[in-house]
Amino acid sequence: MDLSFTREELAFRDEVRAFVETNIPADTRRKVLEGLEISHEDTSRWHQILHRHGWGGPNWPREFGGTGWDPIRQYIFEEESAAAGAPRLLPFGLKMVGPVIMRFGNAAQQKRFLPRILSGDDWWAQGYSEPGSGSDLASLKTRAERKGERYVVNGQKTWITLAQYANWIFCLVRTKATEKPQTGISFLLIDMKSPGVTVRPITLLDGSREVNEVWLEDAEVPVENLVGEENSGWTYAKFLLGHERTNIAGVGASKRELERLKRIAGKERKNGRPLLEDATFAARVAQVEVDLMALEITNLRVISAEAERRAPGPEASLLKIKGTEIQQAISELLMQAVGPFALPFRREAMRDRFSGEAVGPAYAATLAAAYLNMRKASIYGGSNEIQKNIIAQTILGL
């Protein structure tokens, strides 16, 4: 297997690099490169810029309005975008429900939903996890009862990322009580404006609102919003999760954050010398960099297989485990690099209580919040413990 880029792929890389350097808004780029909070407007604006250029669907086939890029070019695009300081495109529409509708939806659903995902007119949320049903997703209890041409849905979804902005949510719901729980699950597309749908915020430790609860109380959903066949939703969920876990690896973003770590460690000093020259700290940074290089090679092997029309297999679990471990390690090293100045959760806390003057470097202000937020990475998309079970069963044969 040749993992080197071809001449054509290198030319494509240069094209992407030139475009993102020219078109990323300066204020958004600064936020990304400095690890500051990215707003809903930042993400939407970048999506619109890409859409106007014809790159709104970098992972979509041409028949549905996408770029038609193969997995290698998709990888190059994401690498160059991350390095240049582009905000991450939200995956819920483009990389999750969009591909499910392409693969399993009917023509009417494809015509109705896909163009609005591609343009960014619709903001999607993922309705999988429930209280008590996260890693054991098949134990979900949200129920959809068919009454004529509608489903009446009742239940609670939790940890729903950015649902406060969403106008649609795709949900796994139970449509049949069976001895094997996976066989009674269906995949529904639900309008967030429907009566009976309520979004309630979950406030995080740093006071921000990233995740929510979504309550469904006698919410009516047209039968035409059922994707595929009733009680076959588990098949579609597994298809979606395989692609989600590959995406979670986040090689491009981790490479960018590793460079930020090196810049900060080059500024901070220990015993009069740059922290990056401290042997113990430098060894930890080097270990993360080696792990990231190995992850990148594994990721290239997976996308090479995708280019040959092979779906992500258990290798996606490997990417998910190691990718999230590296993300967490970098966030921890960033905290250690600035010492006590990383303790405040928010920038406004870094003020002297008497003079009101700023205390500590500006780049330290968001590190604690980022570190705490990154603890979730090894849980969402299927916890790392579950991924290790998948590897043990499918690769090691245990």
Which structure tokens are listed for 376? 């979730």
Note the pLDDT tens digit of each residue in 250-296: 899 999 999 999 999 988 877 788 899 999 999 999 999 999 999 99
The arithmetic mean of pLDDT across residues 322-345, rounded, is: 88
Shared domain for 257 and 370, answered yes or no, is yes
Q: What is the mean pLDDT of residues 214-227?
A: 98
In a domain, 95, yes or no: no
Say whether pLDDT at 108 is over 70.
yes
Structure tokens at 14: 């240069």
What pLDDT digit, counting tens, does each position of 123-169 carry?
A: 999 999 999 887 778 889 999 999 999 999 999 999 999 999 999 99
User: Residue 211: which of 132, 155, 133, 127 has the closest Cα?
Assistant: 127
Question: Is the model's pLDDT at 393 over the cut of 70?
Answer: yes
Shared domain for 344 and 266, answered yes or no, is: yes
Instruction: State how many domains the chain has.
Output: 3
Dump pLDDT digits (tens) for 158-177.
999 999 999 999 999 999 98
pLDDT top residue among 35 and 65: 65
As a whole number, the mean pLDDT across the chain is 88
- Is 191 inside any structural domain? yes
Q: 388 and 253 in one domain?
A: yes
Is residue 245 pLDDT above 70, yes or no? no
Q: Pick the closest to residue 258 from 82, 377, 125 (CA basis).
A: 82
**pLDDT per residue over 257-270, tens digit each?**
999 999 999 888 77
Mean pLDDT calculated for residue range 178-199: 94
Q: Are residues 23 and 154 in the same domain?
A: no
Task: Identify which has the larger pLDDT, 352 or 363.
Answer: 363
Confidence tier at 328 by pLDDT (50, 70, 90): very high
- Is residue 218 domain-resident? yes
- Picking from 89, 112, 143, the residue at the C-terminal end of a domain is 89
CATH code for the domain of 31: 1.10.540.10
Q: How does DSSP assign 145-167, residue by residue?
A: EEETTEEEEEEEEEEEETTTT-S
CATH number at 149 reads 2.40.110.10
Q: Between 34 and 200, where is the model more confident?
A: 200
Give me the pLDDT at residue 348, please.
Answer: 53
Q: Indicate whether 225 and 271 sit together in one domain.
A: no
Q: Are residues 284 and 382 in the same domain?
A: yes
Q: Is residue 225 part of a domain?
A: yes
Cα–Cα dist 242/196, whole Å: 31
Is the pTM value of this prediction over 0.75?
Answer: yes
d(CA 226, CA 221): 9
pLDDT, tens digit, 9 for 90 and up, residues 374-386: 888 888 777 888 8
Domain end residue (candidates: 199, 231, 263):
231
Whether residues 83 and 142 share a domain: the answer is no
Q: Does 257 lie in the same domain as 139?
A: no
Any domain includes 107: no
Ramachandran sector of residue 324 (left: φ over 0; alpha: ψ -120 to 50; beta: rest): alpha
pLDDT for residue 1: 47
Segment among 2-6, 125-129, 303-307 with least mean pLDDT: 303-307
230-254 mean pLDDT: 82
CATH of the domain at 293: 1.20.140.10
Domain of 356, in residue numbers: 249-394
pLDDT category at 71 given cuts 50, 70, 90 is confident
> What's the rounded mean pLDDT across residues 320-332?
93
